[in-house]
Structure 1
């Protein structure tokens, strides 16, 4: 029944997003992983809002904070650099410097931004420390060798969680060895499963390596952003469309998306797990992240969702049987509504349609099923 309750909470988020207040939210400037040839460095955002982002409302990291908030854990962000001028990261970023693209700062905020005084956006693990590792050129372009060196620098800097946002479409021996060595040193390497457009997904490295956790993005309705997954390894899924977060040069908010952004939610959750259970090995952390995720429809691994959508609280608190195996969960099949437009311009009307479908599902789970059980009804095997 825990899975039913969890998905009911997810569906409730969608109904909140369809409310008129959500459609009136300010337009946030976008951040992309790479700057185009005609773009200069990202300028500061002057837009702010106290609205709770949909991903935050879905994952509810605050439920895990009563146990741990990431304190004592260092997370490396291998990306475009991290600008620490935002108050949300003040005093907790090593190697901070220029971030022309802004993507590394955005990802670091998703992982570890502190809660705002007036509410709204916060990171998954606001007590964690960030070590910035720039692995791209000025515009955000990366190579396998530079990313490999970035991973090694991250581990040398004491990172137990290595978020590799600067993914590349072709790996090499140096990158594969860097991931293996990082895991052997006790670090968890987390990376996007793919790059490119939703209908033209390209496998990315190091996410394609078996030692790394490859993450794919979901939209506000819980459906995968990707429409197909040819030759893409997916271990876990997390929110990764229309994501709100901080950026460079101030405290204004931006919007971004993609598998690399989704991976930041998993990196933040891994930091929470390590903060609460510091003795865990990388393999034990991966097991927790996978086995406590919201399972895909049918309770079986899915090519677009992997083991399911990350669950921060369960990843911390679940008690596993001594003999191995998953924690005792009674999953229920969930049929998600069709995918919605995942661009920043998605309309409230589309989300509202999805909300109507899932609200009906919640009603069944919350009202009809309990009444049936009182009469002795049991689901068919």
Structure 2
């Protein structure tokens, strides 16, 4: 099953591009590492402003699976944040190395640690990365390995899964894996792919309704010309000239693609799951949609979805619809129009509504019983009553 071709990493030193699969006996040269640090704060971080949300959460306690080409755990800015993981495509060993470099770049966007001399840092540096290798490079992944990788990530305890790869054909095994994740309260975040100018084929798993589908925008806030469009698009995030980590080195790379917009949204989901641990995956998805920087069009927009992800608003916003049911429920809320809860019709909804009404009435009665005598003691009077009238009655203030 064909997977979309990842946008090749723009390696700052001369790359030795892969020429074949990598397994127990690699038959290819790996991409050359970069040692060049980029000192400035990337435009992506100026746009999303992660330091604003970090006093509340940095994604602590959340395991984010990166279903990709592996993640190089030796990279300094990922030190201590990467688990061994699982190699699905080669069926041997761990996945905490990365010949091609794509997965390391994605993981850096999520969880790279702060480092002096650079403004490049992950959006959720408190999160932990679980690498799941579903491909060695841009040409050997399949819908089957993608499906197996999703199940492996779920079973390993990930609560957010980043998938920066797509199949352009619906596949029963992949659909079942998506449902497996949703049924276990795991949020799947997937790229919509980069072929808007090559026929805009429907991308899976992004097109499945349980998945949070992500497209790309540039510094001007407009949809990237390569970013696919469609009714299933949920959110967009920076995906042009993105700065992240090189494999096997201490330096940085710059690249573009929906592959790299997706981990910004996965990281925002990690921030929400860390700060609001009782929200279900469906509620986290809905919260990210409702708190995005909305475009000035009908929502969702086929080119921009609900808009650009907003990590701070996603963590801090108060959404009434999250409280229409008991907080401990694992069922997703019943959704009405955007931002509005739809009135419940079952016995539970009526019981909650009755209890809330009774509590409010009891509080009002108690408040009135308290305030009436208090008002007499303090000599309340009409705001328009002259002071002289009160003096003539012999009252004092």
Deviation at 1:87, TM superposition (A): 1.2
Evaluate the alpha carbon distance shift between residue 228 and residue 286 of structure 1 in structure 2; reply closer, same or farther with a 3 A threshold. Answer: closer
Evaluate the alpha carbon distance shift between residue 316 and residue 124 of structure 1 in structure 2; reply closer, same or farther with a 3 A threshold. Answer: same
1:40 paired with 2:40, answer no
1:171 paired with 2:196, answer no
Equivalent residue, structure 2, for 1:317: 316
Q: Distance in 1 between matches of 2:212 and 2:133?
A: 20
Q: Distance in 1 between matches of 2:97 and 2:139?
A: 12
Q: Distance in 2 between matches of 1:78 and 1:242?
A: 22
Deviation at 1:101, TM superposition (A): 1.1
Q: Quick one: which of 49, 58, 78 aligns to 1:60?
A: 49
Cα-to-partner distance string for 1:279-333 (whole Å, 9 max, x where unaligned): 11011101110000000123532111100000000000000124577669xxxxx
Equivalent residue, structure 2, for 1:13: none
Equivalent residue, structure 2, for 1:256: 255
Equivalent residue, structure 1, for 2:243: 244
Q: CA RMSD in A?
A: 2.5
Equivalent residue, structure 2, for 1:108: 107
Q: Distance in 2 between matches of 1:120 and 1:215?
A: 24
Q: Distance in 2 between matches of 1:46 and 1:197?
A: 33
Report the secondary structure of 2:104's partner residue.
Answer: helix
Cα-to-partner distance string for 1:165-209 (whole Å, 9 max, x where unaligned): 232222311110101110110100000012336564332211111
1 or 2 for the larger relative contact order (CA 8 Å, sep ≥6)? 1
Q: Distance in 1 between matches of 2:187 and 2:298?
A: 25
Q: Quick one: which of 88, 91, 96 aligns to 2:80?
A: 91
Evaluate the alpha carbon distance shift between residue 301 and residue 275 of structure 1 in structure 2; reply closer, same or farther with a 3 A threshold. Answer: same
Report the secondary structure of 1:194's partner residue.
Answer: coil
Equivalent residue, structure 2, for 1:355: none
Q: Distance in 2 between matches of 1:248 and 1:228?
A: 25
Deviation at 1:259, TM superposition (A): 1.1
Report the secondary structure of 2:294's partner residue.
Answer: coil
Evaluate the alpha carbon distance shift between residue 36 and residue 98 of structure 1 in structure 2; reply closer, same or farther with a 3 A threshold. Answer: same
User: Any stretches of 5+ residues in structure 2 without a counterpart?
Assistant: 1-9, 21-26, 85-94, 325-334, 341-397
Say which is worse superposed, 144-153 or 166-175, in terms of deviation: 166-175
Q: Distance in 1 between matches of 2:241 and 2:14?
A: 11
Q: Distance in 1 between matches of 2:155 and 2:40?
A: 38
- The answer (yes or no) to whether the contact 1:246–1:254 under 8 Å persists in 2 is yes
Equivalent residue, structure 1, for 2:352: none
Cα-to-partner distance string for 1:19-43 (whole Å, 9 max, x where unaligned): xxxxxxxx963999x9566983111
Evaluate the alpha carbon distance shift between residue 201 and residue 100 of structure 1 in structure 2; reply closer, same or farther with a 3 A threshold. Answer: farther
Evaluate the alpha carbon distance shift between residue 284 and residue 197 of structure 1 in structure 2; reply closer, same or farther with a 3 A threshold. Answer: closer
TM-score, normalised relative to structure 2? 0.71
Evaluate the alpha carbon distance shift between residue 120 and residue 200 of structure 1 in structure 2; reply closer, same or farther with a 3 A threshold. Answer: farther
Deviation at 1:48, TM superposition (A): 1.3
Equivalent residue, structure 1, for 2:388: none
- The answer (yes or no) to whether the contact 1:31–1:103 under 8 Å persists in 2 is no
- The answer (yes or no) to whether the contact 2:288–2:314 under 8 Å persists in 1 is yes
Equivalent residue, structure 1, for 2:135: 136
Deviation at 1:120, TM superposition (A): 0.6
Number of residue pairs the alignment of both structures matches: 301
Equivalent residue, structure 1, for 2:384: none
Evaluate the alpha carbon distance shift between residue 52 and residue 207 of structure 1 in structure 2; reply closer, same or farther with a 3 A threshold. Answer: same
Q: Distance in 1 between matches of 2:32 and 2:230?
A: 37
- The answer (yes or no) to whether the contact 2:196–2:227 under 8 Å persists in 1 is no
Report the secondary structure of 1:94's partner residue.
Answer: coil
Deviation at 1:56, TM superposition (A): 0.7
User: Any stretches of 5+ residues in structure 1 without a counterpart?
Assistant: 1-26, 329-381
TM-score, normalised relative to structure 1? 0.74
Bigger Rg, which one: 2
